[in-house]
Amino acid sequence: MTTSSESGAPEGGAEVIEALKPPVGEEALRHREVVEGEFWKRIPAYADVDTETFLSHTWQARNSINKPKKLLKTLQDMVPQSFYDDVAEGFRRAPMSVRVSPSLMSLINWNAAYEDPIRKQFIPVASRCLPDHPKLGLDSLGEQADAPVPGLTHRYHDKALFLPLNTCPVYCRFCTRSYAIGPNTDQVEKASLRVNKERWAKAFAYIQSRPELEDIVISGGDAYQLRPEQIEYIGMTLVEMPNIRRLRFATKGLAIMPQKVLSDPEWLDAITKVVERGRKLHKEVVIHTHFNHPDEFTWISREATNKLMERGIIVRNQAVLQRGVNDTVDTMSLLVRRLGYYNVQPYYVYTHDMVKGVEDLRTTVSTAIMLEKFVRGSTAGFNTPTFVCDAPGGGGKRDVHSFEHYDRVTGISVYTAPAVKPGQVFMYFDPIHLLPAEGRARWADPAQHELMVQEALDDARANAVG
C-alpha cells in the first residue's frame, strides 16, 4: 500500500483543501430548500382540503380567484376590509383580467400582503397604481404589426411565435399580451385569438411556405390550456414539417399550477408523444416556463419537474425582472440556483415590458445590468440566464447592455437590431418615478418629451454599429 507521500500527493491534503476553500454554511445551500407539507391549510377556505384534492388541477381551476368577492370568501378575516376595497378598485382599473390559483393564494404572505412578491404579480391594488409612461402602448412589442396571419408573429429570420389560444390558467398583471389575452376588461377590448382550427390552418400554411422558418414557439395564452388532442395535433403538424427543427411549448403552468403535470396524465402523455416523435426525427421539442420568484417553487413544483425529467423533457425558464419581486441580487441569485438545482434551465430574464397598468412593477435597465453582473459566476454558465430587453416596437430581444445609448437621467435607452430590422432603432424608457430629480422634471414637461427622444436618437446614431 502506498502512502500519500509515495503517490506524490502532499501530506495533510485535507488541511490544504480546507484552507483554500472553507466549508460553506447552510445559507449557501438555501436554494435546495422548498416549501414542504400542506402549506395551503393556513388559508381559511383551504383548511380542510386534503393533499389529494389540492393536487387536482381541475380543483385548482374551479377554485381560482377571479372576483373580489371570491377573494373575500377565501381569505375571510386574514386581511382588513380596506385591503378588499383596494383590490376591488384594482380589479376595476386593471387592463388584464384577474385569475389566481389556490396554489398561488397559499404562497402569499397575507400578513404583509402589500409587500408580498407573489401578490404583486397577480392581484392588483389601486393604491399602488402609478401613471403609465407617456411612451407606453398597449401592444408594446408590436407583435400584431409582425403578424402575416392572425396569431402568428414572424419577426426573427428563422423563428415564429404561434398563439393558438387566448386563455391562461392564471393571468399575470404584467402580461405583454394584455391586448389579446383573457376576456375583455373595463379598460381593454381584446383582439380575438380564440381557438379556431381555420385560423390555425392559415398559420400552418404560412409556416410551411417559409423555408427559412426552423423554430416555432407555441404560446398564447398558455399551452396548459390546450386539450391533449390539441397539443398532439399542433405538435405533430409542426414537427413533421421538413423545415421545422425546434418546437417550444410555452407555459407558466409549472410555476402557478404544477398540479396539472401530476394529475392530468393525458396532457402529459400528449406532450411526451410530441417530444418522442421529435427525438426520432432528430428535432428538439422542449417546454419553456416562467418562474419569477424562488418562493413559487414548492415541493409540488419539484414533483412536477421530476416527472418531466423522467420523461426526458427539457424545461427552460424565462423570468421577468420586476421591482419588489426579484430585483435584488439575493432574490435573483436564489431563483437562478434553485431552478438549476431542480433541472429547470434559466434561459432569459426580461427587463419588464412597457405594459399598461403595471408601472409599479417596472424597473430600470441599469438594475438589469447590475443583476447580470452579480448573477454571472454564481453557478454554471449554461444555468445562467441572459438578461435582455425586448425592444419596444419589434426590435426583439437585445442583450440588456448592448444599447447604443443609455441616459440614466432621462431613462431612455436605444437599441439596434441589425439581424432583425437593420437600419431601425428601438427605444426603451425606464419608469419615471425611479429617475433622478432632473429626469423627473423633464418628463413632467410635455414640451421636453420629443426633445429628450431626439437627443437620445442623435447620440445613438453617432455610436451605432450596423
Provide the pairing of β-strand 396-399 with 284-289.
Answer: unpaired
Most confident of 7-11, 96-100, 409-413: 409-413
Mean pLDDT of all residues in 296-324: 97
Q: Where are the domains of the chain?
A: 39-128, 144-400, 403-466
With 0-12 / 13-18 / 19 or more C-beta atoms within 10 angstroms meaning exposed / middle / buried, residue 305 is buried
Q: Could you please state the CATH topology (level 3) that the domain comprising 144-400 is classified under.
A: TIM Barrel (3.20.20)
Distance CA 180, CA 96 (A): 9
Distance CA 461, CA 466 (A): 10
With 0-12 / 13-18 / 19 or more C-beta atoms within 10 angstroms meaning exposed / middle / buried, residue 1 is exposed
Distance CA 330, CA 96 (A): 30
Percentage of the residues of the chain whose pLDDT score is greater than 70 = 90
Most confident of 46-50, 161-165, 377-381: 46-50
Residue 273, pLDDT score: 98
Q: How high does pLDDT run on average in the chain?
A: 90
Rg of the chain over CA atoms, in angstroms?
24
Task: Encode 197-213: b = buried (16+ Cβ within 10 Å), e = exposed.
Answer: eebbebbbebbbeeeeb
Mean pLDDT of all residues in 251-255: 93
Provide the pairing of β-strand 345-351 with 284-289.
Answer: unpaired
Percent of the chain as helix, strand, coil, to the nearest 5: 40, 15, 45
How far, rounded to the nearest angstrom, does the alpha carbon of residue 397 sit from its chain's CA centroid?
14
Q: What is the pLDDT of residues 113-161, one digit of tens each?
A: 999 999 999 999 999 999 999 998 756 666 667 889 988 999 999 999 9
Residue 137, pLDDT score: 73
Backbone angles phi, psi at 101, to 5 degrees: -75, 155
Q: What is the pLDDT of residues 437-446, one digit of tens each?
A: 999 999 999 9
**Which residue type occupies 265?**
P
**Which residues, listed in sequence order, are joined to residue 233 by a DSSP beta bridge?**
none
What angle do helix axes 68-75 and 81-93 make, rounded to 10 degrees?
150
Residue 5, pLDDT score: 43
Alpha helices in 327-406 (DSSP H): 329-341, 365-375
Percentage of the residues of the chain whose pLDDT score is greater than 90 = 77
Give the residue among 246, 243, 224, 217 at the shortest CA–CA distance from 396. 217
With 0-12 / 13-18 / 19 or more C-beta atoms within 10 angstroms meaning exposed / middle / buried, residue 187 is middle
Confidence (pTM) = 0.90
